[in-house]
Amino acid sequence: MPSKIQKEGPFEGALKQLEKTRKLISLEENIYAQLKAPKRFLQVSIPVRMDNGSVRVFTGYRSQYNDSRGPYKGGIRFHPDVNESEVKALSMWMTWKCAVVGIPLGGGKGGVIVNPRELSVGELERLSRGYIQAVFAFLGPQLDVPAPDVYTDPKIMGWMLDEYEKLLGHHAPGVITGKPLSIGGSAARGYSTAQGGVYVLSNAAAKLKLSKDAKVAIQGFGNAGSNMADLLAKKGYKIVAVSDSKGAIYKAKGLDVAALAAHKQKTGGVANFAGAQKLEDIIGCDCDILVLAALENSVTLENAKSIKAKLVFELANGPVSPGADEVLAGDGVSIIPDILANAGGVAVSYFEQAQNASNYYWTEAEVLQKLEKLMNDAFDAVWERKEKYKTTLRLGAHILAVERVAQAMRDRGLN
């Protein structure tokens, strides 16, 4: 039976989170009022010529939440479940995420209601270009900078950059991040969400005294989840369970992550991987660390109690519902919140923009060194707020974010 909290859209949940944060800090009413809605919200209709000659009209969104710290920043999601509430929530979380890692960017997010797996490559390219045509006037390296998100990738960013530059009449690589390396992408951006996650997890494991032989389960085997599995396995963690949209598998002795990636490549999913057991439900499986790398509301009031992990790591955005968050906190489960845990992606997006602006490119080692420092500093700042306010890491991260955004607003005279 769906609970009341599940029926409520993600944006309502995000607003409640803000209200909770606000009660703990002193925030002017004038600032709070401005943080309750996106500064601009675009809904567009994108006509796409399909391969069979017909025209299909897709609905797209771009939510520009807050730009007091810098240009709006955030990915574009192609998914059948994209909706207004989700895009708004994601854009608010981008605002907090950029502030948590201290980069000079605001928050935005975009999406198109589509299952890209049902489109041919040509249709997908025309949809990607159509999206840029529809929101062109509202994008720019100093205005709003998209990036990949769920079911979008560097190839799509390449088409989008090309369309933007054609309409503009000159180069502007900093308008979009997560680009292919050949057209201004950054080294390490492809796996930076997971890499940032590994730095954060190492900090958390040290503070929470988790042993290195901890058993890890990973929900989601897309860009973030599969790279996280790979990086953690290389660090010696045992990856005992993995799931994707088509199934879940378990192996107590640990999965061979490279072989699993090859299996997924070949069969389209992680299910039926040789030597692993089929798993009904990854959320409640036997593990010490549960990495959530799929979509919002994967953990809800219905399944929160089944969690056996001591640590829940939010590599996806908003994977734990607000109700489940309280249940887990009550049960003593530590949650590493999304706006810290997965901020490595946007952090390297920022590095990508910096390289584009100076037209001078860094080595992979340079990018990783800068990323590690940035994530360590963010972790320490979040931990400090958690201790100071005697609260959860989630609220510690939100307090830090709102403090930083509010300061920028004050300095602009917006209080």
- Which residues, 6+ apart, have CB-to-CB distance to 48 below 8 Å? 55, 56, 57, 58, 123, 126, 127, 130
Of all helices (H) and strands (E), which one includes residue 230? helix 223-234
Indicate the burial class of 183 (C-beta count within 10 angstroms; 0-12, 13-18, 19 or more): middle
Minimum CB separation of residue 347 from ligand GLU in Å reads 8
Q: Which is nearer to ligand GLU, 92 or 147 (CB)?
A: 147
Q: Give the CB-nearest residue to ligand GLU.
A: 75
Dist CA 405 CA 397 (whole Å): 12
- 344-358 and 84-100 are packed helices; what angle lies between their axes, rounded to 10 degrees? 70
Minimum CB separation of residue 269 from ligand GLU in Å reads 23
Q: Which is nearer to ligand GLU, 177 or 219 (CB)?
A: 177
Q: Which is nearer to ligand GLU, 195 or 342 (CB)?
A: 342
SS3 assignment, position 12: helix
Q: Which is nearer to ligand GLU, 287 or 295 (CB)?
A: 295
Marked catalytic residue, from 109, 215, 251, 386: 109
Minimum CB separation of residue 149 from ligand GLU in Å reads 4
Q: Which letter does DSSP use for residue 284 in this model?
A: T
Minimum CB separation of residue 159 from ligand GLU in Å reads 17
Q: Which is nearer to ligand GLU, 279 or 316 (CB)?
A: 316
Minimum CB separation of residue 276 from ligand GLU in Å reads 29
Site residues for ligand GLU per CB under 6 A: 73-75, 147, 149, 177, 317, 342, 345-346, 349
- Which residues, 6+ apart, have CB-to-CB distance to 411 below 8 Å? none
Let me know if 109 is a catalytic residue.
Answer: yes
Closest CA relative to residue 255, chosen from 280, 284, 279: 279
Residues assigned a catalytic role: 109
